[in-house]
Amino acid sequence: MAPPGFNHLSQPCISVWLFIELLFEQDDPSRAQKEKEELDHAIALSLAEDLKKRNRSRWRTENDEAIARELQDKMNLSPYPSFAPPQYHPSDYSRRYCGGCNRAIGYGNYLGCMGTFFHPGCFCCRSCGYPITEHEFSLSGKDPYHKSCFKELTHPKCEVCHQFIPTNRAGLIEYRCHPFWSQKYCPSHEHDSTARCCSCERLESWNARYISLGDGRSLCLECMESAIMDTGDCQPLYHSIRDYYEGMNMRIDQQIPMLLVERQALNEAIVGEKHGFHHMPETRGLCLSEEQTVTSILGRPRMGGQRRLIGMKTQLQKLTRKCEVTAILVLYGLPRLLTGAILAHELMHGWLRLKGYRNLNPEVEEGICQVLSYMWLESEVMPGFKSGPSTSTASSSSSSSSSHYSLSSKKGGRSSAENKLGEFFMHQIANDASAAYGEGFRAANAAVNKYGLRRTLDHIFMTGSFPV
């Protein structure tokens, strides 16, 4: 069989011409030569034509194949891109393992994230444990979270209104935080009439209302649990602190009256006091040296409507001067430990006057009084502290007038919340920013720690200043 494209007529033509050539070769040599040349030329033309046809056929075949491929590609194109969710992919690789359940993913949808593969139901929020199906999520380290769960965990909430603390104009989260209690709250609550506890300074929460004391002060429920409400209730505590002084060889022989009063009565007594004492912006206690008539709290109030105290019994008392100290006044309605700290401070003022300490500057007098207040709190709050006798060692005369407030003076009877309050009152004394109470305390405390209380007091008596 001839090869494809071979001309079957070319071979017979060549045979005929050879036959004719043999017939006339001997008759006319020159003619035979000429005819031979013509025959060669005809054969060459025939071969050239045949080659040209075969080349044209090959080009057409190749060109047709290229056109066919181009048409096929155009037919496969779509004017719309195919949609595939970015997080799910069809998988047929059983060697992939889920980062959640550690099982093979196999065939079906899977999620690729953080260089790991997950079954769609195994990619779960670290906080709530439910699958994350949203297109966006939050990441903390290698732990994924729903955006809402992550905000709940990280975005600070106001402890007053219990809402997320808003951002300021600069887009930053701005809030206030109490230095001791770490209570976080919106800055607006400092100016929107939100009540603040007069004892612990915490702001009133919207779901835990405070008690109104009726004189512009409010008290939180924790402080209310151990609050001392009238003069009679305070007597056991007062006598126990006098015993504390006696235990440090600082006996006070004079019987100094002690009264619980309202804020207005205390402020009036301050105005009537001629002695130039230095007082804090919010005075909670006073050691009187002048004769005055004072309204004291005789009977404890009871709880009325809208969390207000009502039914308080008061009594006018004329205070006469029998010694250098007329009386000690303390605000009513404060927790036992704060009331005791105030009494310890004011009793030190009385002791200094009775012992002849004269013309002390405010930093020295207030500083050493704060040291005695701090030492008493420390003996009450710190276990095993031995600065002086505990208030539980009250005299028999004071124990006869005991009440449910004095029961908490026993060290074993205080709650952890009350101890925490005591630590806060110590923190207040140690970190006071004022010159007289703050700087004075730190200077006095350093002297007492270095030289002891007795040597420090002797130095103050002789020089009017702290030993260095």
Model confidence pLDDT, tens digit, residues 86-121: 455 554 455 788 888 888 887 778 888 878 888 888
The pLDDT confidence band at residue 250, using thresholds 50, 70 and 90, is very high
C-alpha 310: how far from chain center: 39
pLDDT of 16 higher than 80 = no
Lowest mean pLDDT among 136-150, 297-311, 322-336, 353-367: 297-311
CA 220/CA 209 separation, integer angstroms:
7
User: Could you please report the per-residue DSSP string of 286-316?
Assistant: EEE-S-EEEEEEEE--EE-GGGBEE--EEEE
Winning range, highest mean pLDDT, from 2-6, 170-174, 248-252, 386-390: 248-252
- Given the DSSP bridges, would you call strands 184-185 and 176-177 parallel, antiparallel or unpaired? antiparallel
CA 100/CA 15 separation, integer angstroms:
88
Higher pLDDT, 308 or 71: 308
pLDDT confidence of residue 11: 44
Model confidence pLDDT, tens digit, residues 63-83: 656 665 665 555 554 443 443
pLDDT confidence of residue 452: 97
CA 396/CA 236 separation, integer angstroms:
10
Residue 182 gets which letter from DSSP? -
Q: If you average pLDDT over residues 5-14, what whole number do you get? A: 43
pLDDT confidence of residue 159: 95
Through-space distance between the first and last CA atoms of the chain, rounded to whole angstroms: 129
Q: If you average pLDDT over residues 181-207, what whole number do you get? A: 95
Model confidence pLDDT, tens digit, residues 362-398: 999 999 999 999 999 999 998 665 554 443 333 333 3
CA 27/CA 360 separation, integer angstroms:
167
